[in-house]
Amino acid sequence: MGLGDRRGSIEVGKWADLVVVRGNPLADIRRTRLPRLVIKAGRVYDPATLMTAAEGKIGPVSAADTAAWAPTPRRGRGGSTPSR
């Protein structure tokens, strides 16, 4: 495809799609809800501006809709809900 010189690593002059968060999202996935920086194809975007632009287009659109977006408990082995 001829893109090897622009993709595959994070280096000056290469394109990048990154979401930078404070903390480790592998340890706490909620970290992804507060991005510090977003980069798409090498262009830097302000996360607050992106969130404002997406408002009403993704996620719950009203208080009544919030329940549909709530996570459902996963069942562990044996059919019981895991304790926390």
What's the pLDDT tens digit per position in 15-66? 778 889 999 989 998 888 888 999 888 789 999 898 888 887 877 777 777 8
Q: Is residue 71 in a domain? A: no
Q: Is residue 80 in a domain? A: no
DSSP H helices in the chain:
47-54, 66-69
Q: Is residue 74 in a domain? A: no
Domain, as residue range, for 40: 1-58
Q: Is residue 70 in a domain? A: no
pTM for this entry: 0.52
Instruction: Report d(CA 52, CA 43) in Å as an integer.
Output: 18
Q: How many domains does one find in the chain? A: 1
E strands, 1-84, are: 18-21, 35-40, 43-45
Structure tokens at 12: 């000056």
* Total count of residues recorded for the chain: 84
Instruction: Report d(CA 47, CA 35) in Å as an integer.
Output: 6
| DSSP 8-state class, residue 66 | H
